[in-house]
Amino acid sequence: MDLAPTLAAWSRLGAVDRPAPPTGRRFVVVHLDGVSRRALDLALRAGLMPTLSRWLNEGSHALLPTVSGMPASTPAFQAALFYGDRGDCPGYSWFDKRRGKSVRMDDAREVLRFENALRERAAGILRGGSTYFSILGGEAEEPSFSMRRLALGFPFGGKDDPQKNGWDRLATWLAHALPLARSLARGIRGAPERLLDSLAWSLEKGTARHEPRYLLQRFVLADLGQEFTTWMTVLDVCRGVPAIYAVFAGYDEVAHRRGPYAPAALAELAAADRALARIAEAIRLRPEFGYELFVLSDHGQEATRPAERVLHGVRLADWILAGGPTSAQWTTPSPGADADPLHRVCGARLLRGGGEAGRPPLVVVEAGDLAHVYFRDRETPHDLPSLARRWPAELRATLACPAAGMVLVRGGRCGFAFVRGRRIDLAEPASLRGLIGYDTDLLGRFLREMIATPSAGDLVVLGAGVPGGDVAFAWEFGSHGGVGTGGVKSFFIHPTSLDLDHLRGSGPIELHAFFRSRYLGAPDHGGDL
C-alpha cells in the first residue's frame, strides 16, 4: 500500500503552515548507515537499488566520493555534519579518565551530555526540522527515536502541533499504525528463516555470541525502524518540515554480524532504495515546497576477523595483562638485535614499573576495528616516554600484539605510529606511504586527529593492515572506527542542479559548511577534514 498520496491529501487538509529556513529552501537527507562506496557500487551493479541507479544514470543526481574522517563512526560524523565540530569523540565508545566512566553512544544520557557540549559552541543545521533514528539530534525540533531524544523520554514520533486539526492528526496516526503492522507481519513471516540462519551461523562460528541481540536489533532497526523512518519522512515532506534527516540503519546492523558484502546486508540496501522511491514520490506530490533530496553515508565497513580468532581465544585486554608473547621471546634476542626491542623502537631507557598489587590499572575499550587502551594511574593522557617508564611491559605487549595493525601513542610533535616494530613519526607523513591503500597525506591527517583527541586512549590499537586481513576488537565480521579503506571511503549524492564538485573528497565538516550556507544562510567559511 502506497501511503504517500493519502498522507499528502490529508496533510493539505490539516497542516499548519511551516516557514522555510531563512533561505527559503528545504531539504531531506537520507543517511545510509555504514555503507561504503564499494558496498554501494556492488548493490547498484547487482540491480538491488533501481531507484538510485536510475537517478544516477539519468543525471538527476550525481555521486561525489567523500571520506568519513576518523574515527569512522556515526557519532563523530554526525557531530561534524550537524555542528561542524567532531567534539571529544574518539569512537562509538571510550573511557572518560576524569570521570572514571565508560562512555557509549548507545547510552542516551551520554549522548545528551556529548551533544549539549557541541550545542554550546555551534548551532545545528536541523533547527526547526526532524530526524529519525539518528544518534544526535542536530537541534531538530523533533528528533524522534534518536538517542538524544530517548534521554528525555520515549517519543511517539513526528512533529505534532496542537493547532493541527483532525485530518493531520489522522495522518500522524496512519504513519505510525501501518508501519507497525507491516513490520510485525514481516517479522513473523521472516522469523523461521532468520532463526535458521542464526543457528547455522552459530554452528559455523562455534558460538552464539550476540545472536539474540542481533535478531532483536535487526527487527528494531532494519524492519520497524525502516518502516517508521520511511513513512514519518514522507509525512514530514507532505507537511513541509524545513529540514529532515532520515537514518536507515539496517545495513550497518546486519553487516556487523554477517560481513559488509553478505547477501543479507546488501538486501537491506534494496529496502532502503524502496524507501527512497517513496520519499521522492512525496516530494513530487508537494512541489510547492521545493525540497532538495540528498543521500549520504557516514562511513563504510571493513570485512574483519574478531581479534580473539587471531589471539587464539584471548581478548586484547587479557593479552596485554598477560604480557603478550612469552618472556623467552623478549629475553633471547636474535644475534645482532637490541637487548630490548622497546629500547630500539621507543628510544627510551625502560624502568621496570608495576601496577597496584602487581596488576596495572588497565582499561581496554573495544570500539570496532580500533581499541583504546587506558592506564588509570593519572587522569591526563600518557605519552610515549611516560608509558615506557611507567608501563613498559604493557607497552611492549601491545606493540607485539599480532592483532594490531598499527598502534598510536602521543609524543614528539604530532604523535607516533608503530607498525610491526617500526616507529613512524606522524610529523613526517611520507613515512606512512604504502601502509594503507589510500592517500598518504589523508592517512597521516586521520592518525594525527585521533591521537590528538583528548579522550583517545593512551594507546590506540588499529586493526587495519594486519597480515591475513583486518581485525575487529569487538566480536564483529564487519567493522569500522579506524582507518581501513572501506571504513573511511563514503559518498554524498546530490541533485545535479547544484554544482558541488568542490566537495569531492571532502569530509563531514565541509558538508556542514554547505548545508549551513545553503539552508540557514550562514557564511560558508569551508573547513578542514
**What is the DSSP-derived secondary structure letter of residue 92?**
S
Phi, then psi, of 489 in degrees rounded to 5: -90, 110
Statement: residue 185 has pLDDT above 50: yes
Name every residue whose Cβ is closer than 8 Å to that of residue 504 and which is 6 or more positions away in sequence: 64, 65, 66
Helix, strand, or coil here: 114?
Answer: helix
Average pLDDT over residues 465-481: 93
Averaged pLDDT for residues 283-298: 94
Single out the residue of 416, 411, 373 nearest to residue 394, CA to CA. Answer: 373
Which of these ranges, 57-61, 381-385, 435-439, has the smallest mean pLDDT?
435-439
Average pLDDT over residues 405-415: 95
CB count in 10 Å sphere of residue 337: 10
- Taking residues 180-185, report their average pLDDT: 72
User: Which among 280, 177, 275, 296 is positioned nearest to 237, based on CA atoms?
Assistant: 280
The mean pLDDT value for 420-435 works out to: 87
Whose CA is closest to 492, among 30, 1, 20, 19?
30
pLDDT (average), residues 306-324: 90
The secondary structure element, H or E, covering residue 177 is helix 166-205
- CA–CA gap between residue 403 and residue 416 (Å, rounded): 18
Q: How confident is the model at residue 158 (pLDDT cuts 50, 70, 90)?
A: very low
Whether residue 378 is predicted with pLDDT greater than 80 in this model: the reply is yes
Instruction: Give the DSSP letter of residue 25.
Output: -
Determine the Cα–Cα distance for residues 28 and 37; give it in Å rounded to an integer: 21
What average pLDDT does the segment 501-509 reach?
95
* pLDDT (tens digit per residue) in 247-274: 999 999 999 999 999 999 999 999 999 9
Distances (CA, A) of 65 to 31, 79, 146, 245: 15, 20, 27, 20
- Picking from 463, 487, 450, 352, the residue whose alpha carbon sits closest to that of residue 402 is 463
pLDDT level of residue 350 (50, 70, 90 thresholds): very low
Strand segments, DSSP code E, in 134-281 are 142-144, 243-248
Cα–Cα distance, 366 to 381 (Å, whole number)? 18
Is pLDDT of 1 > 90? no
Residue from 228, 61, 70 nearest 134 by CA: 228
Adjacency order of strands within the sheet including 291-296 = 61-67, 489-495, 291-296, 26-32, 243-248, 130-132, 142-144
From the CB of residue 99, how many other CB atoms can be counted at a distance below 10 Å? 10
Mean pLDDT of the chain: 84
